[in-house]
Amino acid sequence: LTEVYSSSPALGRYFRSAQVISFSNESSTVIYQLMFSVPPSTEGFMENSMNPDFIRNILRQNIYDED
């Protein structure tokens, strides 16, 4: 995750860290926390760039690109 988000053209400059919060071998589920440093009150930044769907799609695109 660190490599994916730190090299992202859209979020790389804001990305600070990724940390695994919980891991389950039984269901192959990982819960992680991403830390970003965001600029002060830029119009639309939180609604667009920090939108959970947008952040998820960056990871998804990286997975697709590797295939």
- What tokens appear for 67 in the block? 């295939």
- Give the pTM: 0.74
Tell me the pLDDT of the chain (67 aa) as tens digits: 999 999 999 899 999 999 999 998 888 899 999 999 887 777 777 777 788 899 999 999 999 988 6
Domain layout of the chain by residue ranges: 1-65
Max Cα-Cα span within the chain: 43
- Burial-class residue 6 by CB neighbours within 10 Å (0-12, 13-18, 19+): middle
Q: Is 60 helix (H, G, I), strand (E, B) or coil?
A: helix
